[in-house]
Structure 1
């Protein structure tokens, strides 16, 4: 009976967290109107209380099953972004909770490893893109004043407008150049 109650409590908790994830997704959509956002925010607040109650029920039954499961905190449940996290809480024919890959610390370590791999690929990509941006800025610095000077003779109003735009762009480019210099000093 305890295992059945445990699974029912886990299913209820999972359902509430999934509803919360969907509501958070809808809340962050750009086309959502203000009134709907207010209603969704109120729904999220209600779901937070329901999640707390479901979590208390889950923790009660988690202690009663054999072997007992460790209690979950609200912060842990809120951080669950994948439904697979809940699947690891269930029993299979053999208890998977003792497997190394089922331990949260090891799973997070593996996730960190893959994030590190992605970061290295991003660095490789940036090692190509940053010099391209630098070359583009340098080309603009050399060519725009010449274009503006040529236009002053043929079309002074257009030259004036482009000159105004060029001064803004030059300030933006100077900020980009400062950031590029900082990037070039980084290892890798």
Structure 2
């Protein structure tokens, strides 16, 4: 419970900081829009005004038509074009691909181990509840175990298909969880 409380507090702090940062950014952008609109009014002839909604709609620099009036029109730069952004995204994904494959190989094995351990845990407690003459609770644990098992079958089918793909380097066999390893060491 203490760990859960620490986690919740940390999450609340993070959420508060993110929201505070978003408000600061909102205020800064609103102030910049007001300065721009004042400067646009002073031009001869006056330039068009910007609204918050217009600025928020500009997803990429290339969509920001106003930039063509700057000292340099950066909208034509390779890094500002959609194809350039796509190429950069692809480049950085390729740079991290080997690292991602190693990480996924670990996570796949952890996931399979978790599914096996969860099944064993629920079965153990279902049997324990039956032995303690608590059939109602045992039934509920059994229903939960069966529901999890249905999803686990679907996950294992997907992982089985993945494991047959060319270049798959991971394993879909379960490992030994830390909790299980400790039990083995205690014997």
TM-score, normalised to structure 1, is: 0.48
